[in-house]
Amino acid sequence: MENLTHWIDGAPVAGTSDRFADVYNPATGEVQGRLPLATAAELNDAVARAAEAQKQWGATNPQRRARVMMKFGQLLNENMDRLAEVISREHGKTLPDARGDVQRGLEVVEVCMGAPHFLKGEFTDDGGPGIDLYSMRQPLGVVAGITPFNFPAMIPLWKMAPALVAGNAMILKPSERTPGCALMLAELIKEAGLPDGCLQVVNGDKEVVDAILDNDIVQAVGFVGSTPIAQYIYGRAASNGKRAQCFGGAKNHMIVMPDADLDKAADALVGAGYGAAGERCMAISVAVPVGRETADALTEKLASRVENLKIGPYTAGEDVDFGPLITGAARDRVRGLIDRGVEEGARLVVDGRDFTMQGYEGGFFIGPSLFDDVTPEMEIYRQEIFGPVLCQVRAGSYDEALKIVMENEYGNGTAIYTADGDTARDFAHSVNVGMVGINFPIPVPLSYHSFGGWKKSAFGDLNQYGPDAFRFYTRTKTVTERWFSGIKEGGEFNFKAMD
C-alpha cells in the first residue's frame, strides 16, 4: 500500500495530523493508498511559504514564466501514459479516457504559453493635455484551487496553469479520492522550472477547505464539484472578501428533432451519456426526442447500443467503454436512484443494476441503464445521477422540448440534433444554458475560449480557462500620469518649453 504525501516547497512532505483517508482501486474495491489529511495549521503554513515564493515569481518577466509552461507542456506530453495510468488506477476510467483527461488539461497549458499577450495592459496617449493613461495586469498573490475526483489532471491544470503563468502562487487541494495525479503534476512543473513553493499541494477534507476560505492571504478560490458545495464555498469566500469561481452540478439535455440523423444522435447520446461511467459534469443525462415516432425510433436504437456496451477495468484493454464508479457508496446511490425511477413509473428499458464483473466482484461496477417515459417531476430527472444512466423525456414539439431545458435548475451544457438551421439558430440564441452544442453532444469549448455554465451550475462572474482565467487571476491597475514640463496653466501646450 502506497503512503501518499503533500507537496510543499518543491518536495513531498508527510502529514502531521495523524488523520488519513483511504484511496481505493475502484476496479477491485481494495485500498491501495493512505492519504494524509492536513490540519488548518498545516494549510496556513503552506500558504505563508507560498506567499514568500510568490514575491519573486510575480516579479519574473511574463515571457520567462511562459517558458516554464512551454517546458511543462513538453513534459506532460512525454509523461502522458504515466499520468493516465495513475488516473485510471485511482478513478477507474479507461486509459483512452484518462489520456483525454490529460490532453484537455494540456491544451490549456498550451494557451498559457501565450500568456504575455493576455497579460498586456492598455495605453491611451494624450487622454488630456499632456496626460497619458495606462493599465497593467498584476497577479493577485496566493490563490487556491479545490478540484474534483472525476478529472484528476484536466481540472487541476485548468486552475494551476493560468494562475501560475499570471504570476501567482497556488494552493491546490485535489480530491481525496484521486490525489496521485496532482502530486505527479507538481513534480513535472518543478522539473519545468517553477520555483519551489509556488505550487503547494495540500491534501485534506472540509477542515482544509474551510482553512483556505478563512485564510487572509488567499485572494481567490476556484472550485469544481457539486452545487451545494459550490454555493457554500462561493458564499464563504465572498464573505471573506475573496474572488471565487465555483462550478457545480449539471443536468445536461440533448434535444433530438424529427429531422435529425437518428443513428448519429444515438451514437452521440451513448458516448456522451455513458462515457467515464457518466461521472462527468458535461455528460448528457437527458435525451428529449420530439414527437412519438422520433422517440420510439430513438429508444430502439439506444437500447441495442446500450446493451452492447463493454464494461471492465482499465487493464482489460482499449476497447472497454467504461469502468467502475469511484466508490461503493456512489454505486449504491446510483442503484437507489434507478430503484426510485422504477417506483415513480418510468419505464426501465435497459437495467444495469445487477451487473457484476467476473473476477472483480469487489469492484464498484454497475451496468448501463436506460429509462424512457421520464417526467420532470421524477427524482431521477431532478437529481444529478452521476452514473451510467440516460433518461428519455418525450416532448410533443420543439417549443415543449425547449421549455423542458429552460425550466431545469441547471445550465451547464445542452445540445440539439437537427438538420434545420433555423431551429438550431433559435435554440442557440434562446436557451438559458452556458455551453451549447449543435449536432455536437458535449460542447466543451476549446481552450482559447472559456468554459462555464449558467443558473445553479456556476457561481461567480468569470469562467474557467481562456481569456476569463487571466481576468480572474489578475487585478487591473490603471495609472493616470502627467509631466509638467511643457504645460502651461489652463491646459495650453507651451511649444517654447520644448525648445
- Ranges assigned E (strand) in 131-273: 131-139, 142-146, 169-173, 199-201, 218-224, 243-247, 252-256
Q: Of 43, 30, 36, which is closest to residue 4 (Cα–Cα)?
A: 36
Cα dihedral angle (104, 110, 111, 116), rounded to 10 degrees?
A: 160
Q: Where are the alpha helices (DSSP H) in 370-482?
A: 379-382, 398-407, 421-430, 466-472
**8 A C-beta contact, residue 262 and residue 297:** yes
Q: Where are the alpha helices (DSSP H) in 17-122?
A: 40-58, 62-78, 80-91, 95-112, 115-118
Residue 95 and residue 77: Cα distance in Å, rounded? 15
Nine-digit cell at 276? Answer: 467515464
**8 A C-beta contact, residue 155 and residue 147:** yes
Q: Of 89, 90, 78, 84, which is closest to residue 102 (Cα–Cα)?
A: 84
Packing angle, helices 154-165 and 62-78, rounded to 10: 160
Q: Of 176, 234, 232, 178, which is closest to residue 21 (Cα–Cα)?
A: 176
Residue 142 and residue 374: Cα distance in Å, rounded? 47
Annotation marks residue 391 as catalytic = no
Alpha-carbon distances of 59 from 181, 195, 330, 333, rounded to whole Å? 29, 12, 45, 49
Q: Of 371, 367, 368, which is closest to residue 347 (Cα–Cα)?
A: 371
Residue 176 and residue 21: Cα distance in Å, rounded? 7
Out of 181, 198, 246, 281, pick the active-site residue: 281
Local structure of 225: helix, strand or coil: coil
- Ranges assigned E (strand) in 262-319: 284-289
Residue 116 and residue 357: Cα distance in Å, rounded? 51
Residue 8 and residue 17: Cα distance in Å, rounded? 15
Burial 301-326 (b: 16+ CB within 10 A, else e): bbeebbeebebbbbebeeebbbbbbb
Nine-digit cell at 444? Answer: 466543451
Cα radius of gyration rounded to whole Å, the chain: 25
Amino acid at residue number 479: V
Angle at 207 between CA 23 and CA 325, to 5 degrees: 30
Residue 326 and residue 166: Cα distance in Å, rounded? 34
Indicate which residues carry an active-site annotation: 281
